[in-house]
Every structure is written in C-alpha cells, then in structure tokens.
C-alpha cells in the first residue's frame, strides 16, 4: 500500500492537526518505506512509478484495466503485477461494511449488492484537498495512458468507495467450486443470523477486514457494528477503471475506489473529547494485492503504446510490513 504525500511530508502528516498527525506517524516508520510506497507528486513521476495493465480474465473489456505498480521488490514471478493501493484518511459518514453489505436477501438484486463507505474531511480542508488532488493525479495518469478522456473530475468533496459482495460465475466454474469457497455461512458461521446466499451461480467475495488501533499501539480485528459515524479511519483502497460511452457515443473513463481494508484510528467519542487527543500517541500473470497491516494478537505524456494484456490470477496477499450523498449505483 502506498502513501499520499504532501509537498513537505511523505505521509502528508504536516497538513493534519497535531493530534491526528501523531496518530498517523505512530504506526508508520517513514525510514522503512520503499520506493513503491511513495505515491507520486506529479505526472512525470507517475510515468516512472506506475502503469496500466489489462486483466484478460475479466469478461467485460470496459472493466478489465488495472492501475499497477511498475516495479515492486518481491520474490515473485517476474510476470506478476500488483494493483496500486493507497492509504486514505478521513471520517466515516455512512457505511455498510457487513459480510453481505447492503444486500437484503433478494436474489434478483444480488448483482447490485455492495459493501460501501463514505468518507469526509470533517472540515479539515487542506489535508482533505491534498488527498483528493493525489487521487485525481492517478485518474489523470490512467486517462492519458489509455488515451481516453475523463468524464469529469473524478474525486470531489466526499469520497465514496464500494466493493462487490457477489461475483457471478459460469455454470462450469460453479460445479468445480467447493461450498466453502462460495457460501459465506461456511466461512463465517455467525452469518447464519443474516441473509443466506442468493440462488443461482454466485460467488461470495468474502468480508472486508476491519481493524482497530488500540491506545497501546496494537492492532486488533473488530466487528462492523463497533464502527460509528465520525470515527477517524484509515482506508486501504484500489482504483477501479471503467470505460463508458456518453450520449454522443464517444468513450470516456471513470475512476472509482474499491475499499479493501478499514483501520479505525480514533473513535468518534474520542474525537469529540478535547482531552482525548493526548491519549492516542501511540503464464497467466498473477495479480498480487499488498495489504498494509495484520492484526497484532511539465509532465511528459505516458508512453503512447497501449497497455499490455495480461491474464492474471487474482489473490489477496498479506505482508508483514508494514453519507447523505447520492451514492453511485453499485458496479
């Protein structure tokens, strides 16, 4: 996971109030960060740091492109690609992060089921705008690399992220999948109190990891029901590139954020307490995903050649290094 910088700080901690910057810096060792973890500050830097690749295993070509790291120092096959993920700070506004997100049990609506989250800057405009600018830089790079214009400024004001709960699978694949890989009840028994799997060939994408930073600096897993509007969180997100067409039939690019992990840095109750600020000091090309944490207990144009087509096998890789908004229709 990479860090969105400011002009003077690799974590942009200088733009946040002191009690928040202390929390941000408390669990990140800046000196240990590798080059790929330093998010670019300009388009010219982005050209050297990132790339656009195509995932040939995705059925819809309009959704098959990925923003990936150009170089990443892992002992993996040289053909492996890693989607770019970024760390975003903000305050929870509205969210639905349960195991089946906003799905209410209607199988005909399974394709629209999503785990969602809205973040706001809570009035901290300078720090918040800096994050939006960096995210829009990534969108601009993708647009220039694909030679497809952006529909509009992609990230404005609040940030909306989502993650699909179910993926539709073809009948042959569904016959080969074991029940434990498709049924959330097999993976998370506590889901027996909630809605079951939709009928039809659907694959559950699993839960979003939700963690909490304790006052002693340890990180533990927590349940979604312990989160509240106003919590200060750190979100691990990836970029989703979607190619669409406007009313005139011309192509345009839209860039979304997909939530992968949520770490609560400070509960809303502490945010409201002036004294609490001092308390938290503390062959086929595989697609590999880099997560940040585990629980403790003149900018030149990008190259004119089109992105190379890969045939990745997606997997989630953990490493020991460490609303009322009109929500878009789930993709």
Residue 185's pLDDT is what?
52
Q: Go through 180-208 and write b for each residue having 16 or more CB atoms within 10 A of its CB, e for each that does not.
A: eebbbbeeeeebeeebebbeebbbbbebb
305 contacts 138 by C-beta, under 8 angstroms? no
| Owner of token pair 């005909």 | 108
- Is the pLDDT assigned to residue 13 strictly greater than 50? yes
Answer whether residue 108 is part of any domain. Answer: no
Instruction: Give the three-class secondary structure for 317.
Output: strand
14 contacts 6 by C-beta, under 8 angstroms? yes
Q: What is the pLDDT of residues 183-225, one digit of tens each?
A: 555 545 445 554 578 887 888 888 999 999 998 889 999 999 9
Checking 68-77 for CB contacts under 8 A at 24+ apart, the result is 69/36, 71/35, 71/36, 72/36, 72/290, 73/34, 73/36, 74/288, 76/286, 76/288, 77/286
Place 318 in a pLDDT band, splitting at 50, 70 and 90: very low
Answer whether residue 198 is part of any domain. Answer: no
Place 59 in a pLDDT band, splitting at 50, 70 and 90: confident
Looking at residue 150, the DSSP 8-state letter turns out to be B
CA distance 327 to 118: 9
Answer whether residue 226 is part of any domain. Answer: no
Answer whether residue 296 is part of any domain. Answer: yes
Answer whether residue 27 is part of any domain. Answer: yes
Strand 314-318 with 287-291, pairing? parallel
Answer whether residue 328 is part of any domain. Answer: no
Q: What is the pLDDT of residues 147-172, one digit of tens each?
A: 999 988 899 889 999 999 898 886 65
- Is the pLDDT assigned to residue 85 strictly greater than 50? yes
Q: pLDDT higher for 154 or 322?
A: 154
Nearest Cα to Cα of residue 39 among 69, 76, 78: 69
The enclosing H or E element of 49 equals helix 43-49
Length of the chain equals: 331
CA distance 169 to 172: 8
Q: What is the pLDDT of residues 18-44, one digit of tens each?
A: 999 999 998 888 888 888 899 999 999
What average pLDDT score do residues 233-237 get? 96
CA distance 242 to 265: 31
| Average pLDDT along the chain | 80
CA distance 36 to 215: 29
Q: Go through 245-280 and write b for each residue having 16 or more CB atoms within 10 A of its CB, e for each that does not.
A: eeeeeeebbbbbbbbbbbbbbbbbebbeeeeebeeb
What average pLDDT score do residues 233-257 get? 91
| Residue 146 φ/ψ region, left for φ over 0, alpha for ψ in the -120 to 50 degree band, beta for the rest | alpha
Residue 276's pLDDT is what?
42
Residue 295's pLDDT is what?
58
Place 56 in a pLDDT band, splitting at 50, 70 and 90: confident
Answer whether residue 277 is part of any domain. Answer: no
Place 323 in a pLDDT band, splitting at 50, 70 and 90: very low
Domain holding 298, by residue range, is 2-90+114-164+231-258+284-318
Residue 325's pLDDT is what?
37
The residues facing 116 across adjacent strands are: 96, 162
* Phi–psi pair at 218, nearest 5 degrees: -75, 160
Answer whether residue 202 is part of any domain. Answer: no
CA distance 183 to 221: 22
What average pLDDT score do residues 108-134 get? 93
Overall number of domains in the chain: 1
Place 60 in a pLDDT band, splitting at 50, 70 and 90: confident
Strand 2-3 with 287-291, pairing? unpaired
Q: What is the dihedral of CA 105, 324, 228, 225, to 10 degrees?
A: 0
Instruction: Say how many CA atoms lie within 13 Å of 325 toward its Cβ.
Output: 19
Q: What percent of the chain has pLDDT above 70?
A: 72
- Is the pLDDT assigned to residue 246 strictly greater than 60? yes
Highest averaged pLDDT of the listed ranges 76-85, 94-103, 267-276, 310-319: 94-103
| Owner of token pair 């705008």 | 129
């Amino acid at each position: 996971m990479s860090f969105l910088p400011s002009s003077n700080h690799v974590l942009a901690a200088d733009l946040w109030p002191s009690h928040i910057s202390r929390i941000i810096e408390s669990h990140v060792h800046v000196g240990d960060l590798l080059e790929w973890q330093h998010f670019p500050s300009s388009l010219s830097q982005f050209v050297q740091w990132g790339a656009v690749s195509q995932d040939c295993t995705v059925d819809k070509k309009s959704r098959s492109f990925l923003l990936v790291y150009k170089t990443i120092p892992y002992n993996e096959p040289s053909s492996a690609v890693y989607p770019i993920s970024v760390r975003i700070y903000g305050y929870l506004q509205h969210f639905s992060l349960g195991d089946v997100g906003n799905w209410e049990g209607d199988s005909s609506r399974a394709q629209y089921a999503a785990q969602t989250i809205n973040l706001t800057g809570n009035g901290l405009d300078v720090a918040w705008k800096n994050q939006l600018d960096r995210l829009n830089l990534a969108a601009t790079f993708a647009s220039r690399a694909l030679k497809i214009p952006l529909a509009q400024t992609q990230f404005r004001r609040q940030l909306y992220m989502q993650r699909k709960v179910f993926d539709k699978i073809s009948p042959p694949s569904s016959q080969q999948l074991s029940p434990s890989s498709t049924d959330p009840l097999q993976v998370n028994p506590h889901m027996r109190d909630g809605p079951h799997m939709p009928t039809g060939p659907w694959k559950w994408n699993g839960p979003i990891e939700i963690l909490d930073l304790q006052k002693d600096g340890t990180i533990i897993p927590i349940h979604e029901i312990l989160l509240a509007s106003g919590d200060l969180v750190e979100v691990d997100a990836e970029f989703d590139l979607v190619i669409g067409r406007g009313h005139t039939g011309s192509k345009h690019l839209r860039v979304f954020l997909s939530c992968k992990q949520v770490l609560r840095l400070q509960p809303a109750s502490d945010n409201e307490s002036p004294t609490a600020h001092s308390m938290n000091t503390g062959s086929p090309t595989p697609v590999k995903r880099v997560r940040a944490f585990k629980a403790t207990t003149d900018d030149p144009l990008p190259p004119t050649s089109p992105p190379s087509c890969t045939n990745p096998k997606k997997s989630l890789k953990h490493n020991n290094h460490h609303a009322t908004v009109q929500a878009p229709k789930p993709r």
